[in-house]
Chain A
Amino acid sequence: MAEARTVEPSPSHEPWRARLRDLAVVAVVLVLAFVVDQTLDRVIPDSSVRQLLMLAACNVLVALSLNVINGMAGQFSIGHAGFVAIGAYASAITSSRLHERFGAGDPTFAHSFLVVPTSLLVSALCAGLAGLFVGLPSLRLKGDYLAIVTLGFAEIVRLTIGTAQISADETAGHAWSEVHGLGSFFHAISVSIAGLGGQNGYAGPHEKGVPAYAGPFWILGLTFILGVVAWRLKFSGWGRALRALREDEIAAAAVGVDPTRYKVTSFVISSVGAGIAGGLIAMMRDGNPTVQPESYNFQSSFDAITMVILGGSGSVTGAALGGVFVTFSVKLIELVQGTNAVQSLKRSAEWLDLNALRMIVYAAVLIALMVLRPEGLLGERELTLRTIRGWLRARQERRDRKAEDKP
């Protein structure tokens, strides 16, 4: 439990000093994020690289949130993309409506202080409610119902949004004003869902694109803050209770940890995190101006699982590492797909699908990892300066011992 000790608040005789230090850290992070926000365009002129950086941060959030339920609670959710999608759509709608209120000019940094928190709040709320709806029936029970329910849920979110279609003259407002009874109620719902743009994606109420309010300040800043939150959550009393529950449900219940309550709470927290990540992705500067249902397919849920498991289930830093790694490898595949050599190879061999190949490799790695090293890269350990120093010291000692043995 060496890592647990590192985050216990130090028994300071002057608590205000510790508080002051925390405030200073927050202030420094905010200033740093602001500086990065203002200078990133000049430091990294290539917008695709900037996009990659911010996407990696968002994916770290996705991994951190999935880690709460898959790593810490020891349940298995495989429809994380569904919650990310809900967050993305909620934020896209809220931010573009607010953007219209502001006269629909260029998104300004000052306005973003109103738009981003509001949109993210809506995202978090919607995703959290969805999490409650999915989690409550399936986590009440023993067994792995959560897995299949989340899988079905994510598919349904994607298919419902992707396949909803209406005739051109119908509007949601009109349909809602004509609701008498159940049939027209469902009709109004389906008209509203069709307003999300179906397969083409949602691009604001007038198809002008979702305004890109979330710059590096918001994305990097929030990733840092939520990362700290995830860290504190893991080592809090609540996190320890959750891990106790994972190790032995009956024993944990016997000492007063209510299994259902803890599991459902952790699932809701996990979906709220996913919703925030989705909201940030939707409003990301340099990102995609539309929110498309196909970006939240089963494959992206599987990517999220890969992030958590590769890094080590239950490890906050591991999940962050996994998020960065998967984002970069996906980007790498995209780049390789675009090169001339691969393009010409594809012309001769039509079947060559690098993305399918990537998924096969990922899946094979996951299976091999489960067979050979089920705890993942880091296990439940955390990557901190102290643990790295510990490893280096141990290595040095081993080397010294070897040197002593030799002569």
Chain B
Amino acid sequence: MRVLDALITGLAQGAMIALIALGYTMVYGVLKLINFAHSEIFMMSAFIGLFLITMLGGTEHPLLAGVGGTLMAMVAAALIGMLVERIAYRPLRNRGKSSLVRVTPLVTALGMSVLLQNLAQLMFTARNRSYPQLLTGSLSLGPLSVGTSRVVILLTAVVVMVVLELIVKRTWFGKAMRALSANEEAARLMGINTSRVISATFALGSSLAALGSVLFCLDQSPVHPSLGLVVGTRAFVAAVLGGIGSITGAMLGGLLIGVLGELLKLTSFSGGTDIPAFLVLIVVLLVRPAGLLGSARAEKV
């Protein structure tokens, strides 16, 4: 019974991690860049979500506040994501080949991450703020009772992932994104406005992170400026585990990391989720660097 309970909690946890991991993996897919600022966008949107939900009435109108706040936070996060891309990444693109080309985007990504984190510290101070309890109560599913929040999270995540899969596989934008990921030069020659697609990818990834962050915080966590660093590392491990650049892989990786973390809580191991996640990362890099669902591509000279 405890195992089953942990499994469900882990799946809910993992679904949220997966939502964040998707942002990493999509940006990596189109730009081959680790977007360090992604975890800070996650943190920022948790704050924005908190303020919006409180503004919209909080516990008095849980449905309106929850849904409205989340949607608006997603829009805000998309704007922040596009802004970050505009400031920190776009000016560096098409710089030509030099040794600096590879490292400079990483530096700006890291700089953006530090900037956003400390901006949050200045604006919101370092103290913890807790979310209003919108999702209380529990549902009984046969013999075990599951918290409503878990069910809502799991359902939302599944719906979002299906929608995302449809966007990527069935729409023009998804096709353009995949083309860009395969070969940027060729995609541009085929008339794809690469800048716009990259911008849209950032917007999509950031809004998914916002959804994940609001769900995450509604479920359990208080918001504080260093939230991004903690959760972001976990999400990145999930993305690598699934195979970075692969969207289904990120979902799978997130779920696995979440379940692993919850199952470990049942044992006497007390090192938290981060040490095992880190060890998983090392093992994956050693054994199967392309990840579970990724495909290794040899580089041509």
Find out whether the CB atom of B103 lies under 8 angstroms from the CB atom of A313.
yes
Give the distance in Å from the alpha carbon of A357 to the alpha carbon of B126 in the complex. Answer: 13
Residues of chain A within 8 A (CB-CB) of B286 are: 137, 140
Decide if B110 is an interface residue (CB 8 Å cutoff): yes
Find out whether the CB atom of A371 lies under 8 angstroms from the CB atom of B108.
yes
Residues of chain A within 8 A (CB-CB) of B110 are: 78, 147, 302, 305, 366
Find out whether the CB atom of B122 lies under 8 angstroms from the CB atom of A367.
no
Find out whether the CB atom of A141 lies under 8 angstroms from the CB atom of B285.
yes
Give the distance in Å from the alpha carbon of A156 to the alpha carbon of B278 in the complex. Answer: 8
- With beta carbons under 8 angstroms apart, the residue of A147, A159, A298, A363 that contacts B112 is A363
Which chain A residues (138-188) contact chain B, with CB distance < 8 Å?
Answer: 138, 140-145, 147-149, 151-153, 155-156, 159-160, 163, 183, 186-187
Decide if B145 is an interface residue (CB 8 Å cutoff): no
Per DSSP, are chain B's interface residues mostly helix, strand or loop, or mixed?
A: helix
Which chain B residues (219-248) contact chain A, with CB distance < 8 Å?
Answer: 229, 233, 236-237, 240, 244
Find out whether the CB atom of B115 lies under 8 angstroms from the CB atom of A363.
yes
**Interface size, chain B (Cβ < 8 Å):** 53
- Do A370 and B104 form a contact, CB below 8 Å, given A141-B289, A351-B122? yes
Residues of chain B within 8 A (CB-CB) of A137 are: 282, 285-286
Find out whether the CB atom of B274 lies under 8 angstroms from the CB atom of A156.
yes
Give the distance in Å from the alpha carbon of A140 to the alpha carbon of B99 in the complex. Answer: 19
- With beta carbons under 8 angstroms apart, the residue of B32, B88, B126, B233 that contacts A152 is B233
Residues of chain A within 8 A (CB-CB) of B99 are: 74, 246-247
Find out whether the CB atom of B236 lies under 8 angstroms from the CB atom of A148.
yes
| A309 nearest CB neighbor, chain B only | B107
Residues of chain A within 8 A (CB-CB) of B299 are: 142, 250
Residues of chain B within 8 A (CB-CB) of A366 are: 107-108, 110-111
- With beta carbons under 8 angstroms apart, the residue of A142, A353, A371 that contacts B121 is A353
- With beta carbons under 8 angstroms apart, the residue of B122, B237, B271 that contacts A190 is B271
Decide if A350 is an interface residue (CB 8 Å cutoff): yes
Which residues of B pack against A, CB within 8 Å? 32-34, 36, 87-88, 91-92, 95, 98-100, 102-104, 106-108, 110-112, 114-115, 117-119, 121-123, 125-126, 229, 233, 236-237, 240, 244, 268-272, 274-275, 277-278, 281-282, 285-286, 289, 299, 301
Q: Could you name 21 residue pairs across A and B whose Cβ atoms are closer than 8 Å?
A: A74-B102, A138-B285, A140-B289, A141-B289, A147-B110, A148-B34, A148-B281, A149-B282, A149-B285, A152-B278, A152-B281, A155-B274, A187-B268, A190-B270, A305-B107, A359-B115, A360-B119, A366-B110, A367-B108, A367-B112, A375-B100
Rank and list the top 3 A-B pairs by shortest CB-CB distance, nearest first. Answer: A363-B115, A137-B285, A366-B111
